[in-house]
Structure 1
């Protein structure tokens, strides 16, 4: 029979083991919370992020961020934002135009392009080259002033459904347009723009329960996913065979009066032809600003050849828009890439205090304002609350309350 002293020893050892277990459990929970706090606190998904979009690269193989080494302010800001969103970033250095040798430029009128645009072009080429050299199946490229909603992953879950559905939808619409003539409508029977937009769109609800692949959640039947921009035209109407995806009742979309890229700019077309809180996924059409876009390995190779070797004669985002629209030299319907975009964009420019671009000046409609257009629960606009540990999210574009 063990002595009383041995019993005390066993009791002390048992208590120590319990205390150690509790300490390790608390530490594990704290580490998990610090790695993915927003996905635990703010995501509206009910599917537990069990698909690839829940990983630290949003379902792409890598996320690359273009940052000029002299813009440490931007690198600091996006690094903090990414840490609160559970994102892992790979860096691509921005380039100063004076460091590009004259003989390194492709054919084209590069001398007429501003130094800022030259440096931006080369940095994007370097990002594409990294995707090719690392043999990545997909890569997401961000500019360092990009911002996003706390509910980014659930937004991308909805977008991924459209990205997988749209290529076939576009093919069917194109076949239909070649085989049948559109109906001739009398003047008094002419459809409204709202009705034409409705008939051109396949509507899906958000949020809803869907099966999202654990690998390649966006599919790969595309060349470019243009996820962040500062303006885009809707794809041409196709009322007899839908060529757009409409995500209805998306609470992350601001009300129509807020849907514009700059405070004094005109409202985007979607604000008048679709119901409030609708997000549209469609083939790109005159899209501007390369804030965020994803490429496949094939897409990266084609872009690097097109603008790194073949021709460079305008700002990269304008060139990318022409490329997606089939307007580059020698482009045909058969060689036209499939570029998919979304309105409102999922990523948008963040305008902080003392905002100054290294590429171009401000466009028409800009007034000094600390904001991120299109993003309701902005991560960057809430950075101070996050680092102070404050609860809740401060919304930028709240719904208008109806007077009673």
Structure 2
């Protein structure tokens, strides 16, 4: 896992997006990324010029996860000033309230709202971007210092420590997108194939007739044929 971070540092890459191989995303991803970039520049501005649309004030941008919380609800942040959020209202790429999933109580906000915010400690490392400074900090924190537990949990702790304002840590600058814009695709076929971690051997379990992806409205995987033939995109939640 950490060898890919070595490559970012050794090749002096400005940033890199790392994702698991079963990811799915909305076919309107380009527009989503523009909004995430604007959010990143707003939340973590710098005085120096950057060739990146995301700016150069961040270490990690967590674009795909199982669930995420806002950092102000963490015990170590209670009573501290709330971290700012970049809020995207009326986002057509956000599922309806009855279908969106995550750890945030989306019912407290207007329907079809997406947040770009300081990461509080996401679950699962589905898809995340690392800057050059982020790769160096992760290599330090998760190898030279120590790797405590599973990688995704360790990376979440790295970001959580940054959100707490710990001046004795690596001062990680992590941004998260909620709901995420990348998510694990559950392909059609036997549901026992959904995970390599959870081994389920039961031939009596149902077979999924059509693939599905949480939090993704116009699934790229489900719309490949439609895109090839110039057909109207299929909305997973129009049922």
SS of the residue 2:161 aligns to: coil
- 2:157 and 2:38 map into 1 onto residues whose CA distance is 26
Q: 1:235 aligns with which of 71, 78, 93?
A: 71
1:307–1:242 CA distance, 2 compared to 1 (3 A): closer
Q: CA deviation at 1:386?
A: 4.1
CA-to-aligned-CA distance 1:187-235 (integer Å, 9 cap, x gap): xxxxxxxxxxxxxxxxxxxxxxxxxx99310001011000111100123
Q: Is 2:154 aligned against 1:322?
A: no
CA–CA distance in structure 1, aligned partners of residues 217 and 235 of structure 2: 6
Q: Is the 8 A contact 2:50 2:56 kept in 1?
A: no
Q: Check if 1:361 corresponds to 2:198.
A: yes
Structure 1 residue 381 displacement after superposition = 1.5
Report if the CA contact (8 A) 2:126-2:182 is conserved: yes
More helix by share: 1
- Cα pair 2:161 2:171 within 8 Å, conserved: yes
Q: Under a length normalisation based on structure 1, what TM-score does the superposition of the two structures give? A: 0.50
RMSD, aligned α-carbons: 2.8
Q: In 1, distance between residues paired with 2:10 and 2:109? A: 42
User: How far 1:132 sits from its partner (Å)?
Assistant: 1.4
* Greater relative CO (CA pairs within 8 A, separation 6+): 2
Equivalent in the alignment of 1:248:
89
SS at the partner of 1:294?
strand
Task: Tell me if the contact between 1:147 and 1:350 (Cα under 8 Å) persists in the aligned partners.
Answer: yes
Q: Cα offset for 1:167?
A: 1.9
Give the Cα–Cα distance (whole angstroms) in 2 for the partners of residues 250 and 385 of structure 1: 22
Question: 1:24-69 deviations in whole A, cap 9, x for unaligned?
Answer: xxxxxxxxxxxxxxxxxxxxxxxxxxxxxxxxxxxxxxxxxxxxxx
Q: CA deviation at 1:310?
A: 2.5
Where structure 2 has 5 or more consecutive residues not aligned to the other structure, the ranges are 74-78, 200-205
1:143 aligns with 20
Deviation at 1:286, TM superposition (A): 2.3
> 2:203 maps to what in 1?
none
Report the equivalent of 1:290.
Answer: 125
Give the corresponding residue for 1:128.
5
Dislocated runs of 4+, deviation >6 Å: 237-242
2:233 to 382, 393, 400: 393
**1-structure distance, mates of 2:98, 2:182:** 19
TM-score, normalised relative to structure 2: 0.81
Match of 2:59 among 223, 245, 261: 223
- Unpaired segments of 5 or more residues in structure 1? 1-123, 169-212, 262-267
Matched, 1:277 2:112: yes
Larger gyration radius, structure 1 or structure 2: 1
